[in-house]
Structure 1
Amino acid sequence: MKRMFAAVAAVGLALTISACSAPSGGSDAATSGDDGTKTIGVVALVATDALNAAVIKGVTAVAEENGWEVHVTDTNGSVEAANAAMITYSTTQKMDAIAVMAFQTPALQAGLQSAQAADIPVVSWGGELGAGVVATTSARQVGQDSIDALLEDFGEEGSIMALTYHTGVLCLYRGYAFDDTVAPLTSLDITRNEVAIPGQVEDGTRYTSAWLASNPEGSGPLAVWGAWDEPAIGAVAALQQAGRDDVWVYSINGGPQALQAVKDGTIRQVVWQDGEQEGELMMQAAIDYLADPTGWDQQSFDVPGVVVTAENIDEFLAEHPDALNP
């Protein structure tokens, strides 16, 4: 655990009291505790997404250090599937803890009630604190980091298309940060398009193509902001298809494909989120809660993002050599 605590100290962890595939028959049919091994059930928004995968990797690292097993269900963005997975983890599989990723807490009442009835703690990635949730990570911080860095780079005049996703709580709060920050900037023309999961890359391409038609080359400063990498990568595809190089693309998460796009110059800037560290913090919170439930206070972990551009990507990759090949 020394690596995790050193990382926390480095970013100055803030603790507060507040807070982007339906289960395939359950990705794990095993029940918990048959041999005394503790288990955690992870309810992923999209398990194949690079940032989701990084969080799961962090959860798994701390779990294995402490002798736990990890079971993962990929919900592919479905709230119904998330609730069903939590109920299964609480009843049939009898997990010792549950980690839920990027869903709004009020939408998980059925799952949370099942976990509470079984006295199983829930930790949330990017969700809100609520009854049954013992710890969460901030959903808004990297969104604020992104829009602040965008405006510093792009300026406060021109047209920006935002590719948003309000079902996932990380992207919801990133969208709140975007909206609150640009609201007073009347010199910015903002277009918003809501993408779907699945289909987030394709929607990014489709919306960008339509937006380009009404924002021709030479019409002024132009940018696309993606609430996470995949719609932004779709936007890059649309720009390449149209032969346009006058639109700057901004994104959040910093998965391998987005970082490579920064190296290639097709994404202007990405805010890298340290999902692995956040997963470590979530898992450790579950372990610490179970060690002393009566002495536990609900916690929210605030881990800042890292702004990655063409100017600093080589330095970033030297510090994070696994970022392109996790």
Structure 2
Amino acid sequence: MKTKHILAAALAVGALVLSGCAAAEADPSDDGGGGEEKTLGIVALVATDALNAAVIEGATEAAEAEGWNVVVTDTQGSADKANSAMTAFSTTQKVDAILVSAFASSSIGAGLQSATAAGIPVVSWGGELIDGIVATTSAQKVGEDSVNAMLDDFGDTGEVLALTYHTGVLCLYRGIAFDAEMEGHPDIAVTANEVAIPGQVEDGTAFTAAWLASHPADGTPYAIWGAWDEPGLGAIAAINQAGRDDVKVYSINGAPGALQAVKDGTMTQIIWQDGFKEGQELFQAVLDSEAAGDEWEPVTIDVPGVLVDSSTIEQFLTDHPDALS
């Protein structure tokens, strides 16, 4: 696994937020030994989020190794911007493949239509396999892993605040997994709040502060489950501000800040997702689908998550020395 320089990737891609779209320039003479240089267009849900940045970095490294150029558009969570970006990639920019990050396939119909009309293969990080998408990654399994690990640690009674986000497809399916698993635990009361992007950290703090005010420390087991790291980090801020030490926090992704929180003891548990590897495998699916032509069968790529808590954090950081950088 090569989760390297994730923060650097996030900061580099963060510059794209200002312009909305930017290209990673490559040497025109370097075409990977083929003919005209090809281009991969990446449509990111939130390019500065650490896991999104890891997927972008993995796909970019794999593409550049094959002599491809890479262009990234940061949509800041907007499906309309995602469709516009895919349409631009398919018509005016005429890229050779498109990677869509964390949007439900049903929300990018216009973009898919443009790509299909132009004969451009589309791979999706977390989206459903529908016509026009040649490969995707599994979005629900990591949610199931997270909720089951939380329940193993938390137990069968208490109260849980869920910080959800149903616009992004990864978080949508994580939320579906959460709801399905919690149905089998009637002695756990669940409060759900939907956070927004932008503002996910601030919403995590605000929703948690309000929830804590109505859930005083009285011996009841309390927990907060974040559909991804940033709302969970906002929750930790509210817990610290309230001076509480009776609330556990669970999350998914494994951004540097969240891993540091596990190390510090303020985050109870994370399911770490290997976005870098997923990005690489999605680009490889582009190459494989091109080589197979009409014989290609759409595939779902499943990269398992890794449980990180106080008992495993040191070994995890030994195995992944760049995870905190």
TM-score, scaled relative to structure 1: 0.91
For 1:44, give the aligned amino acid.
A
Alignment check: 8 A CA contact 1:22 1:81 kept: no
Of 24, 27, 44, 2:22 maps to 27
Is 1:159–1:223's contact at 8 Å kept on the other side of the alignment? yes
Q: Aligned equivalents of 1:73 and 1:142: distance in 2?
A: 26
**Match in the other structure for 1:153:** 153
Once the two structures are TM-superposed, the CA of residue 291 in structure 1 deviates from its matched residue by: 1.6
Matched residue SS, 1:27: strand
Quick one: structure 1 residues 222 and 132, their matched pair in 2 at CA, closer, same or farther if it must change by over 3 Å? same
- The correspondence of residues 1-326 of structure 1 with structure 2, limited to 5 A, is 24-28=19-23, 36-325=36-325
Moved beyond 6 Å, runs of 4+: none
User: What is the distance in 2 between the residues matched to 1:291 and 1:70?
Assistant: 20
Alpha-carbon distance, 1:24 to partner: 3.6
- Equivalent-residue separation in structure 2 for 1:26 and 1:273 (angstroms): 26
- Residue aligning to 1:18: none
Give, as a single letter, the amino acid of the residue that structure 1 aligns with 2:297. Answer: D
Q: Residues 161 and 192 of structure 2 are in contact (CA less than 8 Å); yes or no, is this contact kept in structure 1?
A: yes
Offset at residue 322 of structure 1 (A): 1.0
Cα distance in 2, alignment partners of residues 219 and 111 from structure 1 = 51
Q: Aligned letter for 1:97?
A: A
Q: Which amino acid aligns with 2:22?
A: S
**Alpha-carbon distance in structure 2 between the residues aligned to 1:65 and 1:240:** 45
RMSD: 1.8
| Counterpart-to-counterpart distance in 1, 2:187 and 2:311 | 28
- Once residues 132 and 287 of structure 2 are traced to their aligned partners in structure 1, the CA distance between those partners, rounded to angstroms, is 15
In structure 2, do the counterparts of structure 1 residues 223 and 60 end up closer, same or farther at CA, with 3 Å as the change threshold? same
Instruction: Give the whole-Å Cα distance in 1 for the aligned partners of 2:324 and 2:199.
Output: 23
Q: Deviations over 1:30-83 (max 9, x none)?
A: 9xx997111100000000000000001110121112111111000000000000
Alpha-carbon distance in structure 2 between the residues aligned to 1:37 and 1:149: 45
CA distance in 1: counterparts of 2:245 and 2:108, whole angstroms: 43
Aligned AA for 1:113?
Q
Letter of the structure 2 residue corresponding to residue 26 of structure 1: C
Contact 1:126 1:138 in 2 (8 A): yes
Distance 1:236 1:276 in 2: 26
- Once the two structures are TM-superposed, the CA of residue 218 in structure 1 deviates from its matched residue by 1.8
| Identity score, percent | 60
Structure 2: which amino acid aligns with 1:49? D
- For structure 2, the 5+ residue unaligned runs are 3-15
| In structure 2, distance between residues paired with 1:212 and 1:25 | 38
Report if the CA contact (8 A) 1:23-1:73 is conserved.
no
Q: Say whether the 8 Å CA contact 1:98–1:121 is kept in structure 2.
A: yes
Q: Distance in 1 between matches of 2:37 and 2:68?
A: 6
Paired residues of 2:222 and 2:247 also in contact (CA < 8 A)? yes
When the two structures are aligned, how many residues end up with a matched partner?
A: 306
Deviation at 1:29, TM superposition (A): 10
Is contact 1:141-1:303 (8 Å) kept? no
Rounded Cα–Cα distance in structure 1 between residues aligned with 2:307 and 2:41: 32
Does the aligned pair in 2 maintain the 1:128–1:136 contact within 8 Å? Answer: yes
Contact 2:20–2:75 (8 Å) recurs in 1:
no
Name the SS for the 1:106 alignment partner. Answer: helix
Name the CA distance, whole Å, in 1 between partners of 2:24 and 2:152: 49
Amino acid at match of 1:285: A
Counterpart position of 1:17 = none
Q: Tell me how far apart the structure 2 counterparts of residues 145 and 85 of structure 1 sit (CA, whole Å).
A: 33
Give, in whole Å, the separation in 1 of the partners of 2:167 and 2:95. Answer: 26
Give TM-score scaled by structure 2 length.
0.91
Counterpart of 1:166 in structure 2: which amino acid?
A: H
